[in-house]
Amino acid sequence: QVQLQQSGPGLVKPSETLSLTCTVSGDSISSYYWSWIRQPPEKGLEWIGYIYYTGNTNYNPSLNSRLTISVDTSKNQFSLKLTSVTAADTAVYYCAGHPFIAGPFDIWGQGTMVTVSP
Amino acid sequence: DIQMTQSPSSLPASVGDRVTITCRASQSIYKYLNWYQQKPGKAPKLLIYSASTLQSGVPSRFSGSGSGTDFTLTISSLQPEDFATYYCQQSYSTLLYTFGQGTKLEIK
């Protein structure tokens, strides 16, 4: 079955760029839409943005100016870059897959706790 | 933005109880409503999609209903492994997917 493996640093300094990668195994990256979702400590879930294998993206307007999601089909990977981070960006970041644009998130990565701190 | 409001925020219950969690959307989302279960330190797990379709492998004691703006998740007979936090999520507005604030199902 499809599995997602996340990678990236768990500590980022304020004003720097948060970068995470999600590797898809068990199926082609073209089979799904791919989203990033985050969860601040002790809080709820916030959708960040999605990408399709074609490169088509859609971002949460609240993050749009700082956000880039990209895809590398040759590596079956997609990535998140969030610039100018602050403590408010401290959260567990998840990658997730949905089988169509209005579909549920039925595949999840393991989550990466990212702390923004000097 | 479509706001999703869950109630209650916290629900004390006992093993064997029948429990219901409610989710209300700020506008009609037809049946584009999904339910997730999250346990501490774990990623959310899809339970129900399209308001009432049980995800493969999910026990039949979980069920969902509703359409438009009002939805419910019901667990017919609580098991020890069901104590967790539950989230609803709308996938009607693909410009901005939104989640409810969560309902924590706690042992009474």
> What mean pLDDT do residues B1-18 have?
98
Sort strands A112-116 and A11-12 into parallel, antiparallel or unpaired: parallel
pLDDT in tens, A85-109: 999 999 999 999 999 999 999 999 9
For an interface test with A, which of B2, B33, B48, B97 has the most A Cβ atoms less than 10 Å from its Cβ? B97
Under 8 Å between Cβ of B10 and B106:
yes
Q: Shortest CA distance to B72 belongs to which of B11, B23, B5, B2?
A: B23
Q: Do A44 and B87 touch (CB under 8 A)?
A: yes
For residue A82, what pLDDT is reported? 98
Cis peptide before A99 (omega within 30 of 0): no
Where does residue A39 rank: exposed (0-12), middle (13-18), buried (19+ CB within 10 A)?
buried
> Residue B72 and residue B51: Cα distance in Å, rounded?
8
Q: Shortest CA distance to A25 belongs to which of A60, A61, A77, A62?
A: A77
Nearest 5°: CA angle at B43, between A38 and B61?
Answer: 130
Better pLDDT: B48 or A1: B48
Scanning the structure block, which residue is given the tokens 């990212």? Answer: A114
At A8, is the pLDDT very low, low, confident or very high (cuts 50, 70, 90)?
A: very high
> Residue A57 and residue A71: Cα distance in Å, rounded?
10
- For B55, the closest of A61, A106, A110 (CB atoms) is A106
Tokens representing A80 are 């998140």
At B23, is the pLDDT very low, low, confident or very high (cuts 50, 70, 90)?
A: very high
> What mean pLDDT do residues A20-29 have?
96
At A20, is the pLDDT very low, low, confident or very high (cuts 50, 70, 90)?
A: very high
B98 contacts in A (CB within 8 Å)?
Answer: 47
A102 contacts in B (CB within 8 Å)?
Answer: 32, 91-92, 94
Sort strands B53-54 and B4-7 into parallel, antiparallel or unpaired: unpaired
Q: Do B94 and A47 touch (CB under 8 A)?
A: no
For residue A118, what pLDDT is reported? 95
For residue B70, what pLDDT is reported? 98
A105 contacts in B (CB within 8 Å)?
Answer: 34, 36, 44, 46, 89
> What mean pLDDT do residues A47-66 have?
97
> Residue B46 and residue B44: Cα distance in Å, rounded?
7
At A76, is the pLDDT very low, low, confident or very high (cuts 50, 70, 90)?
A: very high
For residue B16, what pLDDT is reported? 98
Q: How far apart are the first and last CA of chain A?
A: 40
3-state secondary structure of B29: coil
Q: Do A105 and B44 touch (CB under 8 A)?
A: yes
B101 contacts in A (CB within 8 Å)?
Answer: 44
pLDDT in tens, B57-101: 999 999 999 999 999 999 999 999 999 999 999 999 999 999 999
Q: What's the per-residue H, E or C state across A22-85?
A: EEEECCCHHHCEEEEEEECCCCCCEEEEEECCCCCEEECCCCHHHEEEEEECCCCEEEEEECCC
**B68-89: b or e for each residue (b if 16 or more CB lie within 10 Å)?**
ebebbbebeebeeebebbbbbb
